[in-house]
Amino acid sequence: MASAKFKIALCQLSVTSDKLRNISHAREAIEEAANKGAQLVLLPEIWNSPYSNDSFPVYAEDIELGGDASPSTAMLSEVSQNLKITIVGGSIPERRGDRLYNTCCVFGTDGKLKAKHRKAWKMTFKESKTLTAGENPTIVDTDVGRIGIGICYDIRFQELAAIYAARGAHLLCYPGAFNMTTGPLHWELLQRARIWQSTAKLYCFSLEPRARLLCKCCCPAESAGVDDVLYISLQLYVATCAPARDTESGYVAWGHSTLVGPFGEVLATTDHDETTVIAEIDYSLVEQRRAYLPIINQRRGDLYQLVDVQRLHAESTK
Ligand SMILES: NC(=O)CCC(=O)C(=O)O
């Protein structure tokens, strides 16, 4: 049973071109956070490598092989087991066969790899040259509750968050490195917006009748294609973790790792320097907030109808 209250640490790490330094630096930050009482540690997007298409193939690791083939995840596994904490391990470039992914690994308190999320959307101009998009949503049960994972640009797609909320996640974790143009405008806005969406058009019924949830990857084939509108209330926690800003690097990150609470409030945040943000999560507030603003029960189905605009468009242009 996950504890209702615990501390989360967002390690906004500086990242260099020295991979071994990045790994030992991340280890130190995690150990320090655990010493301060964090039971869950979140790392940034691409923390073991510079953020560049040239670097991804050079720094990529074979996570499935593990051991020497993946020193970054070997460190995360060791440290999560030693410290008995859960780690949402930001992301690293992953090599699998001839493909590269931007991948987040989640380690449990026993040091075991509990889940792996491959960034499902890619930034058209930045990553699409080298990285392949992941195919699945990733939800993971940990000692600190059920967590939905997205990586950076994934935060722009409300359906992913809707799937996680419908499956009972009370916390969404997004390692991310927004850029200096969209960061100031969109980063916090998107985190807070994820809390207030209330509808999602979904495509088939999943295994959990309670949630009637639908992703194409895990739902029974016979129900694929069935349309339904799912009304959900998110009102949950959203945590993000970015690398610290390095104005000398080819990709300058916005920083601003943040924890947003289930009322849409910024509970803890920072600027762009290297630091670790530590804050408390209390899952009992999720139900309280949903009861206080029960927007799901207040829908006005008599005023509007949700339609699948993409499908209508496809049909009309056939
Ligand atoms: N690493 C990323 O996915 C960057 C996303 C970003 O900056 C955006 O505006 O979206």
User: How many angstroms separate the alpha carbon of residue 189 from the centre of ligand 1?
Assistant: 13
Does the beta carbon of 52 lie inside 6 Å of ligand 1? no
What is the mean predicted confidence (pLDDT) over 55-64? 97
Checking DSSP bridges between strand 237-241 and strand 258-260, what pairing results, if any? antiparallel
Domain annotation covers residue 302: no
Does 64 qualify as catalytic in the annotation? no
Does the beta carbon of 182 lie inside 6 Å of ligand 1? yes
Domain annotation covers residue 99: yes
Structural domain for 84, as ranges: 5-162+172-194+240-284
User: How many angstroms separate the alpha carbon of residue 269 from the centre of ligand 1?
Assistant: 18
Does the beta carbon of 133 lie inside 6 Å of ligand 1? no
- 173 - beta bridge partners? 149, 239
pLDDT, position 121: 87
pTM above 0.80, yes or no: yes
- Catalytic site residue from 152, 215, 219, 241: 152
Higher-scoring residue by pLDDT: 107, 158 = 107
> 313 pLDDT exceeds 80?
no
Within 10 angstroms of residue 207's Cβ, the number of other Cβ atoms is 10
> 62 pLDDT exceeds 90?
yes
Q: How many domains does the chain have?
A: 1
Query: Kindly report the CA angle at 106 between 100 and 109, in degrees rounded to 5?
Result: 150
DSSP 130-151: TPPPP---EEEEETTEEEEE--
In the chain, what's the furthest Cα-to-Cα distance? 61
Domain annotation covers residue 313: no
Does the beta carbon of 153 lie inside 6 Å of ligand 1? yes
Does 152 qualify as catalytic in the annotation? yes
Domain annotation covers residue 272: yes
pLDDT, position 264: 92
Does the beta carbon of 120 lie inside 6 Å of ligand 1? no
What is the mean predicted confidence (pLDDT) over 11-15? 98
pLDDT, position 34: 98
Q: State the ipTM, two decimals.
A: 0.98
- Tokens 């956070």 belong to which residue? 33
User: How many angstroms separate the alpha carbon of residue 158 from the centre of ligand 1?
Assistant: 15
User: How many angstroms separate the alpha carbon of residue 123 from the centre of ligand 1?
Assistant: 6
92: domain CATH number is: 3.60.110.10
Does 315 qualify as catalytic in the annotation? no
Q: What is the pLDDT of residues 274-288, one digit of tens each?
A: 999 999 999 999 989
Domain annotation covers residue 146: yes
pLDDT, position 215: 55
Domain annotation covers residue 212: no
Domain annotation covers residue 13: yes
Domain annotation covers residue 58: yes
Amino acid residing at 215: C
> 2 pLDDT exceeds 80?
no
Q: What is the pLDDT of residues 171-205, one digit of tens each?
A: 999 999 999 999 999 999 999 999 876 555 544 33
pLDDT, position 311: 63
Kindly give the number of the ligand 1 atom that is closest to the alpha carbon of 177.
1
Could you tell me if 206 and 226 are in contact, meaning their C-beta atoms sit under 8 angstroms apart? no
> 166 pLDDT exceeds 90?
no
> 103 pLDDT exceeds 90?
yes
pLDDT, position 146: 95
Q: What is the mean pLDDT of the chain?
A: 87
Query: How many angstroms separate the CA atoms of 18 and 307, rounded?
Result: 50
What is the mean predicted confidence (pLDDT) over 82-92? 98
- Catalytic site residue from 7, 11, 19, 45: 45
Query: How many angstroms separate the CA atoms of 108 and 2, rounded?
Result: 12
